[in-house]
Amino acid sequence: MTARTNCRIVGIASSVFMLFLAGGGPAHAADPGIFPDKIVFGQAAAIQGPASALGTGMRDGIMAAFAEANAAGGVKGRKLELVIRNDGYEPAQSAEATRALLTEDKVFALIGPVGTPTAAAALPLASADNVPFIGPYTGVEFLRSPYKPNVANLRASYFQETEEMVERLTKDLGHTRIAILYQNDAFGRAGLAGVERALKKRNMELAGFATFERNTTAVKRGLIELRKAKPEAVIIIGPYAPAGEFIRVAKKTNLNAVYVNISFVGSDALADSLGPDGAGVVVTQVVPFPRDTTIPAVEHYQKALRAHVPQAFSGFISLEGYLVGRMTIMALERIEGEPTRAALLKALQQGEYDLGGIKLVFGPNDNQGSDQVFLTVIDREGRFRAATALK
């Protein structure tokens, strides 16, 4: 696998991985992670466990972007490398992994972290030394407002996703009884806040709510609670394993509702886990269809994935990882002189980026590049279809 020449995965929290990174001396008086021949980035994400498809998807996309750039000579003669530490999608492990990336691996910047509770644990460590925190796989509001100068978000926010959900459910279907199932942590509460905000805008309230615990599929009690509300639609704020379990059991027990998931769910893993039960399930997305090669960025992503990470799955998550990688590469290319953390942040958060038919716009006090939310529905064959409205 070509990408092994520019990636190492480090064992942490009882995870054991192989090492694929050669050494090299640091450049004199440079920021950490800057070497004469390379720039080293770090990722703390779930590589093992119930949410592993999220971490591995982001990892594979970033690796594809970095390997693509390296094959063309790197960035101004420097190759890009990625050090990955597993955090199991647990805040304490994420803090440990992030601390190790910064103090032991001495990475230049953090890229592609996965999750809201994990971001809450990792961000203070990055912010303490103004380390770039690039392309987190979460739409949580605290990474956007109040403004975080060391954070560069690629994706739309959860508030924007939940607004689209409620707009489609109320406007297209005329539903008034909307309930929510959410993960009982910062991620779930962020989604809950977005849904309540969207409902309040329409003078509505939740018909019912229920929770489940992170890294579990214990959703049956939540299903019992939500059945009492007799919802027309259930918005699910959680990853693919508990979301899939809830939808399967709900359908078997004839809870006839529209099931709507947020992008963080891990769309392709959700569709795979649901099989025939996935028909009609809705997911909001923050990147285009990963097989729509009429978009130049998607065409480049497909080629890079095949060439450099051929075992990787082509889907929404790895596409997002690839776009995060491309955004970072373009920012590095804009830096005049030696790369520094401060110079990278300045480049990332000013102006526009055209990734190839996918435009990102940053500005003063605006560290989010894209505002786009896409509506998708799983069909009877288990494939995602684009939708502009719900029927």
Domains of the chain in start order, with CATH, are 2-155+291-357 (3.40.50.2300), 158-285+374-387 (3.40.50.2300)
What's the Rg (C-alpha) of the chain? 20
Q: What is the pLDDT of residue 141?
A: 98
Residue with tokens 């090299």: 24
The pLDDT of 182-194, averaged and rounded, is 98
pLDDT in tens, 69-88: 999 999 999 999 999 999 99
Position 27 scores a pLDDT of 42
Backbone angles phi and psi of 357, in degrees to 5 = 85, 0
- Tell me what the mean pLDDT of segment 290-310 comes to: 97
Q: Name the DSSP class of 34.
A: B
State phi, psi for 310 to the nearest 5 degrees. Answer: -60, -25
The answer to whether residue 281 scores a pLDDT higher than 90 is: yes
Q: Pick from 101, 103, 106: which is nearest to 12 by CA?
A: 101
Say how far apart CA 248 and CA 45 lie, in whole Å. Answer: 27
pLDDT average, residue stretch 319-344: 97
Query: Band of the pLDDT at 35, cuts 50, 70, 90?
Result: very high
Better-scored residue on pLDDT, 245 or 351: 245
For the residues 233-241, what does the mean pLDDT come to?
98
DSSP alpha helix (H) spans, the chain? 52-71, 91-103, 116-128, 158-167, 186-201, 220-229, 240-252, 267-274, 296-308, 316-334, 341-348
* Cis status, amide bond into 146, omega within 30 of 0: yes
Instruction: Report pLDDT for 122.
Output: 98
The pLDDT value recorded for residue 7 is 67
Output the CA torsion sign for 104, 109, 112, 115: positive
- DSSP assignment of 134-196, as one string? E--B---GGGTSS--TTEEB-SPPHHHHHHHHHHIIIIIT----EEEEEESSHHHHHHHHHHH
In this prediction, residue 130 carries a pLDDT of 97
Nearest CA to 157 out of 367, 390, 315 is that of 367
pLDDT at 328 over 80: yes
Paired tokens of 251 = 């359908």
- The model's pTM is 0.93
- The residue length of the chain stands at 391
- pLDDT band at 54; cut points 50, 70, 90: very high
Q: What is the mean pLDDT of residues 124-141?
A: 98
Q: Which two tokens stand for residue 240?
A: 């693919």
pLDDT band, residue 223 (cuts 50/70/90):
very high
What is the three-class DSSP state of 133?
A: strand
φ/ψ of residue 380, rounded to 5: -70, -20
Average pLDDT over residues 242-253: 97
Q: Report the Cα–Cα distance between both ends of the chain, in Å, rounded.
A: 44
**For the chain, give me the number of helices (H) and strands (E)?**
11, 15
